Every structure is written in structure tokens, then in C-alpha cells.
Amino acid sequence: MSRFFDKLRNGMARFMYGRNGADALNWAIFVLYLLILVLSALVAPMTTRVWVYTLFNALSFALAVVYIFRAFSRNLDKRRAENARFLQWWTPKRQAVRNWNFRRRDREHCYIKCRHCGTRLRLPRGKGKIQVTCPKCHETTITRT
């Protein structure tokens, strides 16, 4: 039985050779596709308007077609350029969420923004009123931690 799966895996690898496969943009399209399907399933019983359900179905179908087209595409230069543009847009947003989550879990420090340049400063919590100098613009402020 494992021989069958080995042949299947090797055959799939040969088929996908020279094709784009799954990159970050394809994963984002897939997640969006799943979200629209779930939303469609939740909205369908609650609405009497058929056009809403039809719109969700058409949108999910279009996303599935785009996903399959990108995954099996042999034009790697274009797909890599698309993925690079997506990552250029997505990476700052993902990093902002990660930073926010880290700051939210950090119980030993408080975070403030410099009033002059907007740099985020990490200060020890519970020190009372302290004088802080921004390392970027060297502006001094007095704040409570």
C-alpha cells in the first residue's frame, strides 16, 4: 500500500514541476475563499434575497478559479511578482498585529509613543513618574508608568 502512495506522491511532484504551487498569495486566497463559504452558509438561511446568496457563490467560485489558475500556472515570473506585491502589502499588517499581540502579553512593561517622532518606547511598569528620552529624536518627556 505504501508503494502506491509513493508512486502517487512522485507522480504529483513530476506534474507540479515547473508550476507555481502554493505561495503566500494562494494561501490568502484560500483563506478568503473559506471565509466567504462559511459566511455564505451563515447568511443563506437568514436572508430572503436570492441575490445575496448568488453573490457569495459567484465570489467563492471566482476565488477558486483564481487559486487553481495560480497554483497550476507555469508563468513563474508573473506569479512571483504578484506574490511579491502581495507580501509588500501584507507584511506590515501582519507585523503590526504580531507587535500588538506581543505588547498586549507583556506585563512587565508599558508602551508609549514619542510625541515628537511617533517612535514606540518600552518603559518599565510601576516606576511612577519618570523622564524619558527618545533614542531616535532625543526629545525628553515626563510620563507616568
Q: What is the dihedral of CA 77, 81, 86, 92, to 10 degrees?
A: 120
Tell me, what's the pLDDT at 24?
Answer: 95
pTM, full prediction: 0.70
Angle subtended at Cα 53 by Cα 49 and Cα 55, rounded to the nearest 5 degrees: 110
C-alpha cell of residue 141: 518627556
Burial of 29 (0-12, 13-18, 19+ CB in 10 A): buried
Dist. CA 27–CA 33, nearest whole Å: 10
Residues of the chain with pLDDT under 50: none
Tell me, what's the pLDDT at 8?
Answer: 93
Tell me, what's the pLDDT at 49?
Answer: 76
Helix, strand, or coil (residue 53): helix
